[in-house]
Amino acid sequence: MSIGAFPAMRLILRRELRLYFRRPDQLLQPLVFFLIVTTLFPLALSPRLSLLRDMAPGVLWVAALLSSLLSLETLFKADAEDGTLEQLALSGQSLGVIVIAKTLAHWLVSGVALVAMSPLVATALAIPTDAFPVMFASLALGTLTLSWLGAIGAGLTVGLRRGSVLLSLIVLPLAMPLLIFGASATDRAIGGESPAGALYFLGALCVFTTSLAPVAAAAALRITLE
Amino acid sequence: MSIGAFPAMRLILRRELRLYFRRPDQLLQPLVFFLIVTTLFPLALSPRLSLLRDMAPGVLWVAALLSSLLSLETLFKADAEDGTLEQLALSGQSLGVIVIAKTLAHWLVSGVALVAMSPLVATALAIPTDAFPVMFASLALGTLTLSWLGAIGAGLTVGLRRGSVLLSLIVLPLAMPLLIFGASATDRAIGGESPAGALYFLGALCVFTTSLAPVAAAAALRITLE
Amino acid sequence: MQEATDPIDAPRASSLDLSADKIHVWRGDRHVLRGAGFAVKAGELLHVAGPNGTGKTTLLRVVCGLLRPEQGAVSWCGRPIDAIRAEYQAAMAYASHEAALKSDLSALENLRYSVGLKRRVGDHELRDTLGRTGVAACADLPARVLSAGQRRRVAMARVLAMRAPLWLLDEPFTNLDSKGTALMCRMLEAHLDGGGLALVVAHHALALARPIRRLELGE
Amino acid sequence: MQEATDPIDAPRASSLDLSADKIHVWRGDRHVLRGAGFAVKAGELLHVAGPNGTGKTTLLRVVCGLLRPEQGAVSWCGRPIDAIRAEYQAAMAYASHEAALKSDLSALENLRYSVGLKRRVGDHELRDTLGRTGVAACADLPARVLSAGQRRRVAMARVLAMRAPLWLLDEPFTNLDSKGTALMCRMLEAHLDGGGLALVVAHHALALARPIRRLELGE
Amino acid sequence: MWTWFYRLASPPHVYRTAAALTPWFFAVAAVTIGYGLIDGLAFAPPDYQQGDAFRIIYVHAPSAWLSLFAYTTMAFAGAVALIWRIKVGYAVAAAAAPIGASFTLVALVTGSLWGRPMWGTYWAWDPRLTSELILLFLYFGVISLRQAFEDPARGDRAAALLGIVGVINVPIVHFSVYWWNSLHQGGTVMRLGKPEMATSMLWPLLAMLFGFMCFFGAVLCMRLRGEVLNRERQSTWVREAVKP
Amino acid sequence: MGGYARFVWPSIGLALGVLIWNVWAARRHHAQALVRARRALAMARSEES
Ligand code: HEM
Ligand SMILES: Nc1ncnc2c1ncn2[C@@H]1O[C@H](COP(=O)(O)OP(=O)(O)OP(=O)(O)O)[C@@H](O)[C@H]1O
Ligand SMILES: Nc1ncnc2c1ncn2[C@@H]1O[C@H](COP(=O)(O)OP(=O)(O)OP(=O)(O)O)[C@@H](O)[C@H]1O
Ligand SMILES: [Mg+2]
Ligand SMILES: [Mg+2]
């Protein structure tokens, strides 16, 4: 009677994308945040601006991580607040399908946009053009991994009143390896060394989370929805 | 018939503080964010850890600014969403009173807590103890100024769907001088130079916003509440 | 429980009146209110009725001053409400569609911090008022866990505790059980007997033992 | 507009039944539901009534599987709902206290993305359904600007469009004008005539032309 | 006095006056910008230090000045509207914002292009440059705040308020080169009495400056008419005016 | 342009481009306002009759 898992996923994906584009702020929020954080740093460092170049990968990655994290908070929360998450949960579709569709939509609007905007920020931070391909690849893998990790955290914390702090507390420790290898990949590319090792590691992390996170996030959601 | 402005302010202040303490996450959120941003940096910089000390004031200030800004978003929004802002606005008290009380409460829980926690972070960033007094003073002045600026922004964007990005877009440009002088005061104190100039400037900014922002924020609320 | 009805500011009570004249409001492209108007005096109740979406809520928001109409004006005791904002607000109690409670505060605290801005009031009295609307047992529960009807009763208690001569109520019978509905009617009677005014939006006839003026929107 | 009533999955329609047995739920310190139970068959309606805060909403959430009771179980066609989750959910339409609409999506889109998960459905049919609940004009307005009654009517259209044999409705008459109330009653009649089941929480008597089973909570 | 002022600021009067002024502004702007460009690009001698790169000044400095001037205009008009309830002020503010933002962008980009040969980099985190970037952010903030409101009247008032608050940045942009030691050079033209420039270079620059101001006036008038029309759509004078 | 052509001409080009864009955008703005005002007039008339 009810429709299959794949059409359902497509439907939810479309719903999510439409919602994001209906609220351009949700779409722009992480980008603007990313831009602004990277602008703030040079200002704060103005007495020692010469450091900027060495810090650039670090600044870039911290900004990316934070902006992605901020938008993850609303992954399930908005739906929980207006009662539509209940409707989704009662739709006859498995929670896994819902989680996958929502997370992919989140990555499509936040991660991809972030990668697309990174050249601008990188130029302002004086990262050389040669390092761009590695930067793109590492950011794309990193943001996808982060979206999956964030889905678990968001699933656990939706409905909890202490949600957002918990989210950072849960997700950030998990995201640390991401940060270290992402920044080091970009750093090595800037220095002209081979970033292969760090990139492989990022790729492995990404595959790992992509296969396990949906299950974990669905379980988390089931616990908290109750 | 209705009660005076001062008792009203005290009542709202008490209400706000109680709400913050009822939701420890709102209280902890900025602090956790502050902590996390400052710990992320050393991680992202791991290949070049020697830079850390020179960047410390910048990192500290960016983290303080962002964490304070994030919590400002809900200054009026939460009340607007559940309908209690309307009740406040119809209470017979002037909007200025409401704004002052809410902003002060925000500063008490975010700014003061941040100052209180800064030694911890500063130690982790290898800022010498001698520089602490200047750091305290500059952070206290800076966060108060930011709370006032944020109140204007939050008042202008409450009820808007595109609120949160706009808030950063509005507040951060105004807050940039704060960042520059705050970081430079701390930096000079670390270097053993006199931070007086930058501190005076921060103080002047603080006095300036304290006297003008309530009027502006009340005007903003009046416009948007309509 | 000293008083059975709420004493309203005595001196002015006789001369109170509220009127609105040719109110026009656009919402998006819709001309929602097209020249609505009314006049209510002390002791009178105006029942605002009409099909869904015809602007009853909008009218109430105009009357309480939250929305400025494109044309027309609302006057309280002969003066436009914009000119006597503070005084008007002190004399008014508004209950919107939602209960407007902070979900993290208890019912009692909610009342304390909203009624407290209008007049000095003790917890003891507020507890009494909650008791009169039948939610004494919920006084110390956070509003978040209350049932829909209980929330509505807390909002009712807030209106009562404000002791304002003018009540503006948007569908106050929503979610109330039959006893709650009867209670609300008794409260309205007592309020009008004490010289109060009331604007009530409701879809059903009000079971009051007095003639009621009616404003039908959306003809 | 081909069908007057919504055809429900024919084969099973005769053998449908829903029952709950000795449900116990605690909320905080309160023992809200103390052994509530009922049984409903195809074509029957159960009217859940009781004073505010006695657990009607809680019971409905247990029945639809959103809340697991501390004791007791709900069965659909003889099997516990936990065991046949997907199948049960496909056969059920739940309307909660709130309308559960995304305020940034239009009424039509809201329906498309929620009904669409239950069965394949075209925009044309959804528009028809919105028309039948009297909000055709609001189909393309964002839900945010709708009046309280209009939101409720959209939620009503969602239940209708799901074509589910089991309806669980929490105070469906809230905010509706008198025409809306009559419409809701007619819809319920048609649903039951077509072999559907319904659990309805309501504070007032339901004006249906058939005997109604009643579950009174909180005695 | 006041009634006279209000009549002067009445929408129909402003609408007609703006229409009358537009062609004059355009004419003057075309002549001065034309002269300035030709003289500046073809005839003025190359700078002894910067070579021909200095010619960027003929578009950079006027657009940079204009970016500040337009912001000040916008904030002032907003203040007049908020304080004295002169509604035309909102229209002026709304009209000035996009023009100002576009010239801020020109100043930033031409400055970057000039910076590459002079300082060896397109961008540096220098006070003047940063504060000009902030000016752009402020323009964006004002524009998007106005658009974020569904009710135009509220959008007008909110944007006016933000414009006033942000005007604090204008002196910062202007004086940043004096207050902090900066890569960017200090005033060359505005320093009265002691012009640092050869007159053959200076005249075209002054002409460009004046031309850009007139151009601003012209475009402002055109946009102003649109804004006034939008705001007064329901009034009888507009109905008379637009009757086909 | 003494080796600086690739910096000077884009600058001049951009500036002229923005000048032209401003004129175009302002004209369009006014034209759209006129259209909208006419539409409002037409709607008002149809309501009256
Ligand atoms: C992105 C880079 C740049 C930005 C954002 C920028 C911004 C500005 C601004 C805002 C003004 C107007 C100041 C006022 O009226 O107070 C200005 C003027 C000026 N700029 Fe730049 N500028 C940049 C790069 C440069 C470069 C590279 C040069 C030349 C080496 C330069 C030379 C000038 C000159 C000569 C003036 C006129 C100064 C005066 O007489 O006041 N600018 N610029
Ligand atoms: N931006 C908008 N665009 C179009 N229509 C709008 C907009 N905002 C509000 N409306 C319409 O204005 C009307 C507002 O009505 P209001 O909420 O006052 O109704 P009501 O009489 O209180 O109805 P109910 O009985 O359902 O509560 C609704 O019909 C709504 O659809
Ligand atoms: N954490 C808690 N602590 C104490 N009591 C609670 C808690 N959570 C819920 N309750 C109580 O449980 C009951 C829940 O009732 P429910 O919402 O099911 O009522 P209802 O019958 O639907 O009422 P209404 O007619 O008002 O909608 C309420 O009395 C509420 O006060
Ligand atoms: Mg209504
Ligand atoms: Mg209920």
Q: How many CB pairs under 8 A join A and E?
A: 14
CA of D146 to the centre of ligand 2 (A): 5
Residue of chain B whose alpha carbon sits nearest to that of C109: B15
Residue of chain E whose alpha carbon sits nearest to that of B157: E145
As for how many domains chain E has, the answer is 1
Q: Which residues contact A3 (CB under 8 A, 6 or more apart)?
A: A11, D116, D117, D118, D119, D120
Q: How far apart are CA E19 and CA F30, in angstroms?
A: 11
Residues of chain D found within 8 Å of residue C145, distances taken between Cβ atoms: 27-28
Select from E58, E230, E231, E235 the residue whose CB has the most chain F CBs within 10 Å, as the one to mutate to test that interface.
E230
Q: Could you tell me if E215 and F18 are in contact, meaning their C-beta atoms sit under 8 angstroms apart? A: no
pLDDT for res D219: 63
Taking residue E42's Cβ as centre, other Cβ atoms within 10 Å add up to: 9
Look at residues A94, A68, A84 and name the one whose alpha carbon lies nearest to residue A154.
A68
pLDDT for res E94: 96
Domain contains E195: no
pLDDT for res A156: 79
Alpha helices of D56-147 — where are they, by DSSP H? 56-63, 85-90, 107-115, 123-132
Q: Which residue has the higher pLDDT, A152 or D95?
A: D95
Q: How confident is the model at residue B194 (pLDDT cuts 50, 70, 90)?
A: confident
Query: Backbone phi, then psi, for C39, in 5-degree steps?
Result: -145, 135
Domain contains E45: no
Lowest mean pLDDT among A33-42, A83-92, D145-154, E9-18: A33-42
| Residue showing tokens 């379980």 | A219
Average pLDDT, chain D: 89
Average pLDDT, integer, range D159-164: 94
pLDDT for res D2: 37
Helix (H) or strand (E) holding C38: strand C30-41
Residue range B83-96, pLDDT digits in tens:
899 999 999 899 99
DSSP state of E52: G
Please check whether the domain covering D17-216 is classified as CATH 3.40.630.30: no
Look at residues E191, E207, E172 and name the one whose alpha carbon lies nearest to residue E57.
E207
Taking residue A78's Cβ as centre, other Cβ atoms within 10 Å add up to: 18
ipTM, 2 decimals? Answer: 0.84
Q: How far apart are CA E50 and CA E220, in angstroms?
A: 35
Say if E240 is an interface residue toward chain B (CB within 8 Å): no
In three-state secondary structure terms, E166 is helix
Residues of chain F found within 8 Å of residue E47, distances taken between Cβ atoms: none
Task: Give yes or no for residue D6 having a pLDDT over 60.
Answer: no
Ligand 1 proximal residues by C-beta, below 6 Å: E 57, 60-61, 64-65, 68, 107-108, 111-112, 114-115, 118, 128-129, 132, 173-174, 184-185, 187-190
Residue of chain A whose alpha carbon sits nearest to that of E140: A32
Helix (H) or strand (E) holding C36: strand C30-41
Q: Could you tell me if B86 and C100 are in contact, meaning their C-beta atoms sit under 8 angstroms apart? A: yes
**Domain segments of chain D as ranges:** 17-216
Residues of chain F found within 8 Å of residue E217, distances taken between Cβ atoms: none
pTM over 0.80: yes
Residue range B44-97, pLDDT digits in tens:
776 566 777 778 888 899 899 888 888 888 899 889 888 899 999 999 899 999
Q: How far apart are CA A221 and CA B66, in angstroms?
A: 29
Q: Which residue has the higher pLDDT, E78 or B222?
A: E78
Residues of chain B found within 8 Å of residue A66, distances taken between Cβ atoms: 37, 40, 66
Residue range E19-73, pLDDT digits in tens:
999 999 999 999 999 999 998 888 887 777 777 778 889 999 999 999 999 999 9
Residue range E71-124, pLDDT digits in tens:
999 999 999 998 888 889 999 999 999 999 999 999 999 999 998 888 887 877
Nearest to E230 among F4, F25, F36 (CB): F36
Residue range A123-162, pLDDT digits in tens:
888 888 888 999 999 999 999 999 999 898 888 777 665 5
Task: Kindly report the nearest CA distance between residue A23 and chain D, in angstroms.
Answer: 7
pLDDT for res A72: 83
Range(s) of the domain holding residue E159:
56-187+223-241
Give me F15's structure tokens.
């500036």
